A and B are shown apart, each in its own frame.
Chain A
Amino acid sequence: MATERVLTRNVGRASARTVRGYRESGGYEALARALKMQPEEIVEEVKKSGLRGRGGAGFPCGAKWSFVPRGAGRPKYIVCNADESEPGTFKDRLLMEHDPHQLIEGCVIAGKAVEANTTYIYIRGEYTQATRVLEEAIRDAYDQGVLGSSVLGSGFRHDVYVHRGAGAYICGEETGLLESLEGRRGQPRVKPPFPAVVGAFGAPTVINNVETLCCVTHILQRGADWFRAIGTDERNTGPKLYAISGHVERPGTYEYPIGVPFQELLDGCGGMYKGRALKAFIPGGASAPMLTAAERGIRMDFDTLAKAGSMLGSAAVIVMDETTCVVRAALRLARFFAHESCGQCTPCREGTNWMRIVLERIECGAGSESDVDLLAHVVPNVGGISLCALGDAAQGPVRSLVQKFGDEIRDNLRNHRYPLPRVPFFDLGAAS
C-alpha cells in the first residue's frame, strides 16, 4: 500500500526548519484556521478525529483537553512531553530535528483550544541537537509573529519555552515530568487530582506527546473526517510513526496508517538482518510484552495489541532474531527498570530489583527451573499497585518471557545451557 507521508513530509527538507520554508508546504494554515474557531470547536474537532495519545498510554486527546476548566484569565499550561526515553523509541527526535514548526504549530493550537498562553516543551537532556533546532525555530517563530503577544495578529498570546530534563526515564510519566519541570526530583504525584485540573505550578495543564501534537496540526489542517478515515477502525485512527530497531536490515522511523501488520513493517525495512529467522519482537517499546514469530501477522494498533496481551505503547518495535538469548534481552530491560524506578513505591522499587536478580541468576548459569516459577510469582506483585505505571511497564517484558518462552527456558536450565553462546555482532578478529 502506498502511504502518504503526513507527519514525516518535511523530513530531509532542511528549509522546513524556518517559518518561511515551513509555510511553503502549508505550514501555519492550520493555526490560522484554529485562531478563528471557538476553543470548544477545536476540542470537538480533535475529539471527532479519534486521535489517541502517541506517547504510550493511548488516551483520547480531545477528551483530555475537555477536562481542562474553561475560561481565559487564569494560568493554564500546555506541556509537550518530549522526554522520549522509552527504550527503542526515537520517532519524536526525528520530528523535532526535522520539522520543529509542525510541533510548535500543534502546541499553539492546543493552547488556543484550552485557552492557555504558555507551552513548555520538556525535552530529555540528552537531545542536544533537537534542543538546538527547536530553540532556533522558536526564535524564528517569535520574529515572524507566530509566537508572542499576538499570534498571527489574532490578539491571542502564546509563548513556547524549551525546558531540558537531565536524564531520568520517570520524567516521561506526566506527573513525574511536572515535578521535574518545577525543579524537583521527578517522582510521580498521587492522582487525582489529574493534571488537567491541578498540573504545572498548580494550574490546569494539558500534557501531550510530541507526535500527538503534530497530529493535531494536521487534524486542524485537513479535518477530523480525513484523519479518522485513516487506520484500522474508529478507535484506531490516523497516521502513525513506527520506530524499528534491532535485527532488521534498515532500522528507522517509518510512517504508516495506524494498524499496519507487523509483517508489512518488517518487509518495509528490508526484512530480517542477514535473512535470519525472527524469534521475538517488542511492538511498543521496552514496556510492551514481547510477541513471538508466530504472531508476526498482528495489526499494530492500540486495541489489537492490547487484545494480544501487549501494547502499542510508543510504537517502538524492537526485533530479535534467532541468535538472541531472550533471557539476556529481558535482563537488559530489567536492569533498565530497576535503575529507573524512582524508589517512591515499595512494590516497584523492590520488585524491579528482584526481577533483575533472578534473571541475572538464570542468564549466568546459576539458575534453576524453579526460578521461572519465582518470576511468574513476582510479576503480579510489581504491576498495578504503585503510584504510576513504571511497575506495570517493568513486569511486561518478564511476564511475556515466562508466558511465551517459559518452556524453552526450563529446557535450557535442565540442560545447563546458560549462558547461551553469544554470536558477536562485530568480527573483531584474533587481535581482540
Chain B
Amino acid sequence: MSGSPAGPSRLPAEVLAGIEALRPRYPTEEALLLPALHLAQAANGGWLSHEVIEAVATLLNLPASSVGGVVSFYDMFHEHPVGRHRVRLCTNLSCQLRGADQLAGLLERELGVGPDEVTPDGRCSWVEFECLGSCDTAPMAMVDDDYHENLTPDRLRQILKGLA
C-alpha cells in the first residue's frame, strides 16, 4: 500500500508546507509523523481517511500499516468522520464529582445522538473524554480547540446552540 512512486502528494499544499517547515527540528523523518497527522487531520474535516493515512505514509517513507497503528493508538486521531464541531466532555473523577454525568445525559438528549455518533446534519459529534487537566473548573468540556469551564446545564445548552 505504501511506497508508491513519488508523485504529487494528495495532501493539500498548506499541509505539505507545514510539514516541511518542521523538518529541521528533528533528526529523523519518522518524528514528523505526529505533527503531520495533526496537520493532515485539521485539513481533512477533523478525521483521517485511509487515503490521507496513505498519503502521510508515502510522504514520510513509512509503511501505511504502521501509520495506521499510530493513528489508532491516540485518542485525538479519528479514523471515522466526525461532526463539524466536536465536543469532548471530561467525565473523569474530578468532573464526575461535580456533575459531569448529568451533562453527558444532557448532551445525548440535546444532540439526539450517542457518544461517537454524528448528528444527521453533520454539525456535531460528542464523546466522553479522559481528564483534560481543567479539574479546578469542573465540570468542563473541550469544544473544537477551546476549553469551556465551570459548565452548568444552561451554559452547555447555550454553547451547543452557538455551534453553526
Contact surface of A with B, Cβ cutoff 8 Å? 75, 84-90, 92-93, 124-129, 159, 161, 163-169, 180-186, 201, 243-247, 251-253, 282, 286, 316, 318, 320, 324, 328-329, 332-333, 336, 339-340, 342, 424-426, 428, 432
Contact = CB atoms under 8 A, between A and B. Distances in A.
A13 B137 CA distance: 20
A84 B66 CA distance: 26
B62 to A, nearest CB: 8
B30 A182 contact: yes
Interface in B83-137: 88, 91-94, 96-99, 102, 106, 130-137
Given A161-B25, A182-B31, A339-B130, A251 B70 contact: no
Contact of B134 (A86, A90, A163, A286): A90
B90 to A, nearest CB: 9
Interface of B: 25-28, 30-35, 37-38, 60, 62, 66, 69-70, 73-77, 88, 91-94, 96-99, 102, 106, 130-139, 142, 145-147, 152-153
B135 A164 contact: no
A50 to B, nearest CB: 27
B147 A90 contact: no
7 tightest A-B CB contacts, nearest first: A425-B99, A167-B75, A245-B135, A183-B33, A166-B74, A167-B76, A183-B30
Nearest to B95: A245
A246 B146 contact: no
A428 B88 CA distance: 21
A243 B130 contact: no
Most chain A CB inside 10 Å of its own CB: which residue of B27, B69, B131: B131
A201 B134 contact: no
Nearest to B131: A87
Contact of B31 (A90, A159, A181, A332): A181
B93 A166 contact: no
B130 A85 contact: yes
Given A182-B28, A425-B98, A428-B102, A332 B75 contact: no
B97 A87 contact: no
A332 B91 contact: yes
B131 to A, nearest CB: 4
Given A168-B75, A245-B135, A125 B97 contact: no
A316 B31 contact: no
A318 B93 contact: yes
Nearest to A187: B73
A37 to B, nearest CB: 28
A184 B152 CA distance: 39
Contacts of A316: 135
Contacts of B28: 182-183, 201
A215 B143 CA distance: 33
B30 A253 contact: no
Contacts of B94: 87-88, 245-246, 251, 318
B91 A166 contact: no
A85 B133 CA distance: 7
Contacts of B25: 159, 161
A310 to B, nearest CB: 16
Contacts of B31: 181-183, 201
Contacts of A168: 73-75
Contacts of A90: 133-136
B136 A183 contact: no
Given A126-B142, A424-B102, 15 more contacts: A85-B131, A85-B133, A88-B93, A90-B134, A126-B88, A159-B25, A166-B76, A167-B74, A167-B76, A167-B77, A168-B73, A184-B66, A201-B31, A246-B98, A251-B137
Nearest to B25: A161
Contact of A333 (B76, B93, B132, B136): B93
Contacts of A318: 93-94, 97, 135
A252 B136 contact: yes
Nearest to B150: A251
Contacts of B73: 168, 185-186, 342
B133 A89 contact: yes
B96 A329 contact: yes
Contacts of A333: 92-93
Contact of B27 (A84, A159, A201, A339): A201
Nearest to A425: B99
Contacts of A342: 73
26 contacts: A85-B130, A85-B131, A86-B131, A87-B92, A88-B131, A88-B135, A89-B133, A90-B136, A93-B133, A93-B134, A164-B35, A167-B77, A168-B73, A182-B30, A184-B33, A185-B70, A186-B73, A244-B136, A245-B94, A245-B136, A246-B138, A253-B136, A318-B94, A426-B102, A426-B153, A432-B106
